[in-house]
Structure 1
């Protein structure tokens, strides 16, 4: 019997309502209500991106170490982070009474508070959803899709409210969403699945071999008969997931397979490999399942598991078949969850090896230039993205109700690009896709520079360009996630994804916000031109790296 997984959907809806309300329109609030200049706005907007490089892995490590308290931990962080945002309208009341520097540093304290407590919520909600799904992690994308829908709807609705009531209305919706998020977090409960050390070792060192299967083949016809009764989209993907996981271990145990080997069965090459040759009875199956749950309870490994399962299902599809949107999203991890991989530093695998990233891979010019390109694209992208609403209002004279359309337009473009990403990867090379993302992004900036204020056609074109913006972001991130996996062996990919996310969204976005604030003082044309130049420089660095022959691992 299938499971609808209502709680994960509610977690995502309430979480992304926060990002679609006050956080989305924060730049307008800083400008209108607090009278800050672009440099101050840029520094305030940059703070969360720098801090989350530390805060996301830290709180993820705490949640993975104490799973029974994860729901209450998320509720506490949502309370503290939400309080820091809701305190901003109160601070705005003192703008006329105190000098600018005092107001700025008080706002910076609130930004730091939100960065440390509020920013990690995305990674923690991802972690909770993955743990709730258990061995059905392939359904992760189906739940995450509700967050994208919520974000787009909220940005649109808040834009209408701001046009009629004022920018403070965004904080009303933020407060309501925070209350619901805290409630849903408190409803999230996990049992401590950590098994005793002696029990794990006795299972892994079991010497009696009664077959060469990790599952009972006599039960397979019954499993197939039961699975045929499931009709919903979630259940169809659950059926695929259970079939795949019956044969394939989590990536924590797996050897890397080249794309040509995707159809073959993965083998376990670790201290747990002996379990692959044991025919498990009911009690042993229960203990073995508990062992897998314990090892894959770590957020990063759970996300990798979902990604690999989705990749297996998608690799079996024909050229004319398209995956569901949920399956496509399961294949592409979020930036925040990728960044949580830094919580693995210092931990050890079952074979005693430390988790680290080989310096030899990082010394490769091909890898260095690719990571530099990702950093520069994140920098160029955030320079415009964070100040987009100011450009809309100050340079184009656009009403907030029209600004709200950017949420659905960009959201649809991003989700559709993620959905088509596998088809794009199968059809075009990484060089072509990376070039397309950069060229379209620069084209969008150049068109923006030619738009006129208070012109209906210009406003319509500006909104249309947001579709290109969403496409460029999704294409760049999905391509980067796929390409970085080819640079490093299996056991190092989690850390590689963490570095990728830190460069793209952490360092890249942070520097972009700060630099964008200083350049915007010279006008939006200068900002758009600088962003385009940085993107072109990153693309040239990427081309230089592609001249180096590719080495296999």
Structure 2
């Protein structure tokens, strides 16, 4: 079992790096937004209103972006363009200064354009994983690692310099993310990698051909490169006589061999380009080995011999660039994105409208209760993330260094829970994982009450924050898996957008408004206790509903089994 876990962990390397760079950028701004607004001398209620822009606008815009991306198959283009716009919006906060209207507008713009990035990346990753979708947690944990590490160093930077460095660091990591994303997820990156591979292959062939001498064969051959026939270095080529004439190799033969090799490669590349023009640029992210790219794969038609021997086999095969594995019967994509085109239109399913999809969700009471629980958990998470730092600064005089130090502790427990996400889903199931997530949030909120004792140091918050990893990893892993299972074919990004919008959007927005009001007009301790109570209600409702539907399902199964006798 240990070896199988280790082998699965080694797979999908580029997906792990993709999450690492994505969450490195997120960790530079979102954890510190309340501290940034507090530095502008704003009241907690105003901070709550401004911080609610990110989740509320995310909730409203995520389904829109998901629908556009699924309908037109432009997921990857949306990620690139919106990432650039989010970077520009935050950099413009530097010259904005204390202008509240400017801050409001720019954070609102950031909220709208950044909302589709995470759900689209999640949907692409799940599609890449395919049957390994339960390994999602092992990929996502690298986002948690980067979140904790980068946030820690970001806290150190703003503690020694100024808040404006938040946006500079964000821009840096976003550029790194985009470079990696373009190189691994677009057809341009795929062509670049193909070109590099061909060049490396040419170099290897030349080295093998020219460097084949040994002590007994002093043949020295300088080959004129076909691409540069007038190279000065090649004009003085010499041919030393070997002791045995049978071992002498003609340089003209080698040149001709190299020319034929390169010409064949060009013809193969031309055939691939023609196929991609006729069918559409087929791009998938590879999902096979440890050095695996999250990059583009290239459509490989079956050769003539296989077609003659297997006329009845019309299956399209996709040759993964970094492995020898083949994905069969996968839908063809348009322009490298994931808009699905059925291979056999006679058997294609009728495409659902957005209205029908939403009706299916609303008519499913079990799904609606799940979404209600995600609203409450999103509210709880946002209240803690936005107002815990304010509480520690106001009541415990915590430094920015301490606040940044809490973030590695918030993600440390995400690592084992994301790593063993597949095993948890198989053993515990979605329902139990959501119950565990609720329970971790409740315990965490209750433990904050120890700070009512004046002698308790603010540094005691560090071990408490480890509960965040348990809560978030279980809830997010279960939510992504359930959304993927429930989604009709072709609407994976839409369902991920709904889940992400409910958890990170609607729930978080409610948390910002309620949290800001209660923090200002009541107290931080009242806010934490109120939030714990609401989370308990959500836990009870969700647990009872799952027991009810589980019993109802078992009764149905019993009736069906009896009807067979």
By the TM > 0.5 criterion, same fold?
Answer: yes
| Contact 1:194 1:294 (8 Å CA) reproduced | no
Instruction: Give the structure 1 partner of residue 381 of structure 2.
Output: 381
Instruction: For 1:431 and 1:134, locate their aligned partners in 2 and report how far apart those are by CA, in whole Å.
Output: 22
Q: Aligned with 2:187: secondary structure?
A: coil
Question: Of 333, 349, 352, which aligns to 1:351?
Answer: 349
**Cα gap change, 1:291 to 1:178, in 2 (>3 Å):** closer
Counterpart in the other structure of 1:465:
464
Call closer, same or farther: CA 1:5–1:194 in 2, change over 3 Å. Answer: farther
Instruction: Kindly indicate whether residue 20 of structure 2 is the aligned counterpart of residue 23 of structure 1.
Output: no
- Provide the residue aligned with 2:94 in structure 1: 89
Query: Does the C-alpha gap of structure 1 residues 297 and 54 become closer, same or farther in structure 2, counting only changes over 3 Å?
Result: farther
Q: 2:313 aligns with which of 274, 280, 286?
A: 280
Q: Which moved further from structure 2: 365-374 or 503-512?
A: 365-374
| Two-structure CA RMSD over aligned residues (Å) | 4.6
Q: Which secondary structure state, in structure 2, belongs to the residue aligned with residue 84 of structure 1?
A: helix
**1:78 match:** 83
Q: Cα 1:392–1:195, aligned 2, differ >3 Å: closer, same or farther?
A: farther
1:478: which partner in 2?
A: 477
For structure 2, the residue ranges without an aligned partner over 5 or more in a row are 1-9, 191-272, 281-286, 298-309, 320-326, 557-565
Contact residue 17 and residue 154 of structure 1 kept, 8 A: yes
Matched-pair contact (CA < 8 Å) for 1:384–1:531? no
Q: How far has the Cα of 1:462 moved from its partner?
A: 1.0
Secondary structure (helix, strand or coil) at the match of 1:354 reads: coil
Q: Cα offset for 1:464?
A: 0.7
User: Is 1:190 the equivalent of 2:187?
Assistant: yes
Q: Distance in 2 between matches of 1:360 and 1:129?
A: 25
Aligned CA distance change for structure 1 residues 120 and 490 (closer, same or farther; 3 Å): closer
Q: How many residues align?
A: 426
CA shift in 2, pair 1:546/1:492, >3 Å: farther
1:149 is aligned, of 142, 145, 164, to: 145
Q: Would you say the 8 A contact 2:366–2:545 is kept in 1?
A: yes
Residues in 1 aligned to 2:491 and 2:80: alpha-carbon distance in whole angstroms: 32
Q: Contact 1:51 / 1:116 at 8 angstroms: preserved in 2?
A: yes
Q: What CA distance in whole angstroms lies between the structure 2 residues aligned with 1:66 and 1:353? A: 13
Which range is displaced more, 435-444 or 521-530? Answer: 435-444
Task: Give how far 1:476 is off.
Answer: 2.3
Note if contact 1:68-1:189 (Cα within 8 Å) is conserved in structure 2. no
- Return closer, same or farther for 1:364/1:66 CA change in 2, 3 Å cut-off: closer
Give the CA deviation at 1:532.
0.8
Shift of the alpha carbon at 1:9?
A: 5.8
Structure 1: segments with no counterpart, 5+ residues: 96-102, 201-226, 243-276, 303-347
Higher alpha-carbon Rg: 2
Deviations 1:269-321 (A, max 9, x none): xxxxxxxx985269x6469969623289765989xxxxxxxxxxxxxxxxxxx
- CA deviation after TM superposition for structure 1 residue 78, in Å: 2.6
* Residue equivalent to 1:541: 541
Aligned pairs for 1:459-538 (under 5 A) are: 459-482=458-481, 498-521=497-520, 522-538=522-538
User: Who is 1:293 aligned against?
Assistant: 332
> Which residue of structure 1 lines up, in the alignment, with residue 172 of structure 2?
176
Counterparts of 2:544 and 2:444, CA distance in 1: 25
The answer as to whether partners of 1:12 and 1:146 remain within 8 angstroms in 2 is: yes
Q: What's the TM-score once normalised by structure 1's chain length?
A: 0.64
Structure 1 residue 471 displacement after superposition: 0.6
Instruction: Find the aligned partners of 1:538 and 1:525 in 2 and give their Cα distance.
Output: 20
Q: Distance in 2 between matches of 1:359 and 1:295?
A: 28
- With over 3 angstroms needed to count, the CA separation of the structure-2 counterparts of 1:422 and 1:397, relative to structure 1, is same
Give the TM-score normalised by structure 2.
Answer: 0.62
Please report how far the alpha carbon of residue 448 of structure 1 lies from its aligned counterpart in structure 2 after TM superposition. Answer: 0.4
Shift of 1:373: 2.1
CA distance in 2, matches of 1:55, 1:361: 18
